[in-house]
Amino acid sequence: MTDESVSPAPPGALSDRESAVLAMERRSWPGPGAKERAIREQLGMSPVRYYQLLNALLDDRRALAHDPVTVNRLRRVRDARRSRR
């Protein structure tokens, strides 16, 4: 049985869910909790799962090709956090 809410992506392309995660990262958020609420309501996943998927996307060539500005910005943020540890 397949999930009808997610269409299969052609080889080399991001899935609808992966594209939606990157689109969520392009938005700005008005206050605390708004993003987490949107993740649950719009994507139907927990924030923990969302961030796991997002982190994997940052290392995915397909994501970089799809949205280089967002992926490179998020990579810089991730690298800065790692260097502070």
Mean pLDDT throughout 20-29?
95
Going by pLDDT thresholds of 50, 70 and 90, the confidence category of residue 18 is very high
Is residue 58 within a helix (H) or strand (E), and if so which, with residue range?
Answer: helix 47-58
The answer to whether 15 and 6 have CB atoms below 8 angstroms apart is: yes
What is d(CA 63, CA 45) in angstroms, rounded to the nearest whole number? 19
pLDDT confidence bin for 15, thresholds 50/70/90: very high
**What are 27-69's pLDDT values in tens digits?**
999 988 999 999 999 999 999 999 999 999 999 999 999 999 9
Which two three-digit tokens encode residue 38?
């949107």
Q: Mean pLDDT over residues 2-15, rounded?
A: 61
Backbone angles phi, psi at 79, to 5 degrees: -65, -40
| Beta-carbon contacts of residue 43 (< 8 Å; ≥ 6 apart) | 17, 20, 21, 24, 50
Phi, psi of 35 (to 5 degrees): -65, -45
- Is the confidence at residue 7, as pLDDT, over 80? no
